[in-house]
Chain A
Amino acid sequence: MQYCAKIKDLSVSFHGRKAISNISTELPSCGITVLLGRSGSGKTTFLRSLNRLNEIIEGYEGSGNVNLFLGGRSRDIYSDDAPEPTELRRRVGMVFQTPNPLPMSIRRNIILPLSLIPGSKKTENEERMESVLKTTGLWDEVKDRLDTPAGRLSGGQQQRLCLARILALEPEILLLDEPTASLDRRASEVIEKHLLSLKNKYCIVMISHSVRQALKLGSHFIFLRGGNIVASFSKGELPEGKEAENLFNDLL
């Protein structure tokens, strides 16, 4: 199997309190890896250690290695060989639990981060915006109101905008932190559909709050408890139907 990430002895603490300790695992490069666990089990911290986002939080301390497969080769993102954190975060894109559009227009939400990349061109950015809005199924819904505030979109549309915004930066790995937690069922289903269509193009690591969603989307599953990995499976190892659901519920 091919890997998009190899993690060795990863520990992270905030203000001296351990959030995850000595995690070692590998994440396959195709399909969606789903992280499951109760709140406080370290899922979000684990996810954020893959794009070094923990470091902007006060009281951060971390150790261990995270090797990501980026640009055709494996690099330890915490070593000197690593790309700058700002560049890393573009290549390892993240979508958050609650939709977080910037307080500006739909167009600016996508164009602003793009325009800050050195050497980016205005016309290319516009083209890229159109293409990612089409990928996330938003184009037809917003093409006539690109210059209205993004905050006026519905929750589901905002979340798809956030997905589009990160796709515009052409990441190689996508980190999704409970992307449907704040949405109703229909909006969640739309997002799930788009994630399934993206899973062959990107290495996707997502946290899910629902066992049913995990089983529907995931091809690899990791269970966390108290900052440690307690179990992991690939889809093939799971029992059929209802039994898999029961197994997952027992592990949570």
Chain B
Amino acid sequence: MNRVKLLKILSYISAFFVLASFSLLIGFIFVKGAPSIKLSLFFGDTNPWQAIIGARPVWNGIWPAFVGTLYLILLTMLISLIPGIGCGIYLARYAEGKSKEVLSLAVDLLASVPSIVVGLFGFVLILLLRHTIAPNATTCIILASFCLAILVMPALVVTTRSSIESLPEALLMTGASLGFTETQLLRHILIPAAGKGILGGIMLAMGRAAEDTAVIMLTGVVVNSGLPAGPTAKFEAIPFLIYYTSAQYIDRDDLLRGFGAAVILLILSAGLLFIASRLQSTMEKRWKGAK
């Protein structure tokens, strides 16, 4: 048997392996969790409408954690999107020589920091603030989002940079020969053409922000706080709720509710990824002007 054939078989097996693990994982969570997905999983005994408008607190449902996670993801993206993508563009198009080396190294190092260390950093930051300018500062959702932003930024930088750098050289030549300035080249050709790759980075970052537990555990997540009351309030989050349930469940139903929450977290992430990809494809269509 020749090597080409062997490579082909190996790649088939690898592809099957990925598909199988994906199906097994998702299938397992769905089988365990789907039965407990009903309104009461979200709102417990509280009237759903009153819970949604925040008129009444929810005691035994995952609604506050759901909203907390949603806020957390949105705040994290709000903080990390511009510096992450901006730094990627800088590295791909403007940085030169020593500063490029140093900055890429910094990004690589940042990417390798474990999330628990990032969480610890957030915690220490609050201690520092308490001893200096803000004696009342405490861990909260904005701090958690800030730390998550640090955690996900490298993914944004690296994917933005590599998707711009991997664009064909001819695109630069074409743009320049048509009299585009460097800024116009970036704005009208390079960034739109790299859009799919950049979207990949955004998806990675959102997924990471949705699932991370280590960072938020040290920066303000709690088991029971109700809906987040503001940027400086404590909050609930689904990944922490799952983590907590798996360690502290009282009975079988409680455990199954944990699985239900896992399914909801998956659906929430998938929904956000879907929205992001639709947004990107709409922008790409407008850029290409093709119907």
Interface residues of A (CB under 8 A from B): 51, 53, 56, 86-90, 93-94, 96, 98, 100, 102-105, 107-108, 111-113, 116-117, 147-149, 165-166, 169
What residues of B have a CB within 8 angstroms of the CB of A102 in the complex?
A: 171, 174, 189
Residues of A close to B177: CB separation below 8 A: 51, 53, 89, 93-94, 96, 166
**In angstroms, how far is the closest chain B Cβ from the Cβ of A108?**
4
For chain B, give the interface size range: 20 to 34
A108 with B288: CB separation less than 8 A? yes
**Chain A contacts of B193 at CB under 8 A?**
103
Contact status of A87 and B179, CB under 8 A, knowing A56-B172, A100-B173, A104-B287: yes
CB pair A113 B289 closer than 8 Å? no
Main secondary structure of the interface of A (DSSP, over half): mixed
Q: A104 to B288: give the CA distance in the assembly, Å.
A: 4
If A102-B189, A116-B184, A169-B179 touch, whether A107 touches B289 (CB-CB below 8 Å) is: yes
User: A113 touching B288 by the CB < 8 A rule?
Assistant: no
Closest to A90 in B: B179
Alpha-carbon gap, A82 to B174, bound state (A)? 22
Mark B170-187 against chain A: 1 for CB-CB distance below 8 A, else 0.
111110111111001000
Interface residues of B in 155-177 (CB under 8 A from A): 170-174, 176-177
Chain A hits for B174, CB < 8 A? 96, 100, 102
Contact (Cβ within 8 A) A105 B179: no
With an 8 A cutoff between CB atoms, is B5 at the interface? no
How distant is the Cα of A104 from the Cα of B174 in the complex, in angstroms? 13
Q: A56-B176, A102-B174 are in contact. Are A147 and B184 (CB under 8 A)?
A: no
User: Contact flags (1/0) for B274-291 with A, using CB distance below 8 Å?
Assistant: 000000000000011111
Given the complex, which residues of A lie within 8 Å of B181, measured CB to CB?
A: 86
**Complex contact B290–A104 (CB within 8 A):** yes
Given A100-B170, A107-B289, A149-B290, decide whether A112 and B176 contact each other with a Cβ distance below 8 A.
Answer: no
Q: What would 17 more interface pairs be, CB under 8 Å, given A96-B170, A103-B288? A: A87-B179, A89-B177, A89-B178, A100-B174, A102-B171, A102-B174, A102-B189, A103-B193, A104-B287, A104-B290, A105-B290, A113-B179, A116-B179, A148-B291, A149-B288, A166-B177, A169-B178
Q: Nearest chain-B residue to A114 (Cβ)? A: B178
- Give B182 Cβ to nearest chain A Cβ, in Å: 9
Checking B173, B188, B291 against A112 with a beta-carbon cut-off of 8 angstroms, the contacting residue is B188
The 5 closest A-B pairs by CB, nearest first: A108-B289, A90-B179, A105-B289, A104-B288, A113-B178
Could you give 5 example pairs across A and B, Cβ below 8 Å? A94-B177, A96-B174, A98-B170, A100-B174, A102-B189
| A108 CB contacts on chain B under 8 angstroms | 287-290
Q: Evaluate whether A147 and B289 lie within 8 angstroms (CB atoms) in the complex, with A100-B170, A102-B174 already known.
A: yes
Choice from B184, B287, B290 contacting A148 with Cβ under 8 Å: B290
CA–CA, A113 to B171, complex, Å? 13
CA distance A103 to B174 in the complex (A): 11
In the complex, what distance in Å separates the CA atom of A153 from the CA atom of B63?
53
Residues of chain A within 8 A of B184, CB atoms compared: 116
Give Cα A148 to B291, complex, Å.
6
User: Which residues does chain A contribute within 8 Å of B180, judged by CB atoms?
Assistant: 86, 113, 116
A104-B178 contact, Cβ under 8 Å, with A53-B173, A56-B173: no
B288 contacts A90, C-beta separation under 8 Å: no
- Complex: chain A residue closest to B172, CB-CB: A56
Chain A nearest CB from B249 CB (Å) reads: 53
Chain A nearest CB, measured from B138 CB (Å): 51
CB contacts (< 8 Å) of B178 on chain A: these are: 89-90, 113, 165-166, 169
Given contacts A100-B170, A102-B174, A103-B193, contact A147 B290 (CB under 8 A): yes
The residue of chain A having its C-beta at the shortest distance from the C-beta of B187 within the complex is A116
How distant is the Cα of A93 from the Cα of B288 in the complex, in angstroms? 23
Evaluate whether A147 and B179 lie within 8 angstroms (CB atoms) in the complex, with A56-B172, A100-B173 already known. Answer: no
